[in-house]
Amino acid sequence: MTTTAKPTVQHEDDRVRVTRWDFEPDTRTGRHVHEHDYVVVPVVDGRISAFAPDGTVTESQLRAGVSYARPAGGEHDVVNTGGSWLAFVEIELKETSA
């Protein structure tokens, strides 16, 4: 049985969606495509692996408070490959009309 990480939407409006993701070890987001540019803010240190549809695996060491940003369009399944609980906040930047 595959266990899924727990997403909690903390805020959403016309411009942004803020989701906190909580992962126990070996839990995953499930395969998804990012519709918007986004920023990730790790809550604690941890290790993740992102599995792309073509079989590519990208491993990342997360550091609490050290943010990173990615463009829309990325497709992957993110797994907590560390040995302890992991959490990060994902901030999606929705497109707005000028």
What is the pTM for the complete model shown?
0.91
pLDDT at 98: 54
pLDDT tens-digit readout, 67-98: 999 999 999 999 999 999 999 999 999 976 55
What is the Cα–Cα distance from 40 to 46, expressed in whole angstroms? 13
Average pLDDT over residues 54-62: 97
Class of 6-93 per CATH? mainly beta
Helix H, strand E, coil C: the string for the chain is CCCECEEEEEEECCCEEEEEEEECCCCECCCEECCCEEEEEECCCEEEEEECCCCCEEEEEECCCCCEEECCCCEEEEEECCCCCEEEEEEEECCCCC
